Amino acid sequence: MKQTAASDNNLPVGEGDECPDRATLAAVQDIPVYDAEGNAVPFGSLYHPDTTPHQRQLIIFVRHFYCGACQAYVKALVEGISIDDYYSIPTPTSIIIIGCGKPDLIPQYRRFTNQCQYTILAEPTRMLFKKLGMNWSMSLGSERPDYMREISVLDVVKGQVRDVSGAVKDPEGIRKRDVFRGGHPLQIGGEFLFEDGQVIWCHRMKHMRGHAEISVLRKLLELDD
């Protein structure tokens, strides 16, 4: 099915952005992504049928690891697609989050996001983001998304400063130099659903608060009608 361009983050499930073709996937499959210990695996291993435990993979690209808006999104994901929901998805699906910061910041990102239960990886070169069509943006967008309905921009900024400051002071947190290792501040992300090694649906953020709503993901995963 041909994908049509999405106008916002609350797009109907039947609509999405243009999916990466086979040539694009061939160009990105060997780009390394890293876990919290710095262990690398090729991006293609996350979705290739021979190397994945599930038929589908929902891969969510977030912004830098200190982005309060993306942290709110991941928290909403944790609440909106619980472990019980995850195991009831009709078509078994892995959920993977990839950020553009340094991999050793992943444990702190889990703390920022209420101990997110899903796999979190890092791709600090941003080559993967670029080749999959995710751009830069300085825009916050014209509307506040549902996943930030109770959070103002000022609240996000205050919370971000508070969390980072607290993490620097915490002996098990981050070091001062880590403040600048969270990832490019203007990079935006998106969501890609893979099945049998191909992207069957995707949505690229148009601005800094532009993730696809959790309600869209629930319908996409057939958790809701």
Annotated domain spans of the chain: 22-220
Residue 1 confidence (pLDDT): 33
Residue 216 confidence (pLDDT): 96
Residue 24 confidence (pLDDT): 98
Residue 163 confidence (pLDDT): 64
Mark out the alpha helices in 11-151 (DSSP H runs).
Answer: 22-28, 68-80, 83-86, 106-112, 127-131
Residues pairing with 56 in the sheet: 93, 195
Residue 222 confidence (pLDDT): 96
Evaluate whether 123 touches 34 at the Cβ level (below 8 Å).
Answer: yes
Helix (H, G, I), strand (E, B) or coil at 7: coil
Residue 142 confidence (pLDDT): 86
Residue 6 confidence (pLDDT): 39
What are the pLDDT tens digits along the chain (225 aa)?
Answer: 334 333 457 766 668 999 999 999 999 999 999 999 999 999 999 999 999 999 999 999 999 999 999 999 999 999 999 999 999 999 999 999 999 999 999 999 999 999 999 999 999 999 999 999 999 999 999 889 999 987 766 666 666 667 666 666 676 666 667 777 999 999 999 999 999 999 999 999 999 999 999 999 999 999 998
Distance CA 123, CA 44 (A): 13
- For domain 22-220, the CATH superfamily is Glutaredoxin (3.40.30.10)
pTM (two decimals) = 0.89
> What beta strand segments (E) does the chain contain?
32-34, 40-42, 56-61, 93-99, 119-122, 190-195, 198-204
Residue 179 confidence (pLDDT): 73
Residue 146 confidence (pLDDT): 94
Distance CA 222, CA 225 (A): 7
Residue 66 confidence (pLDDT): 92
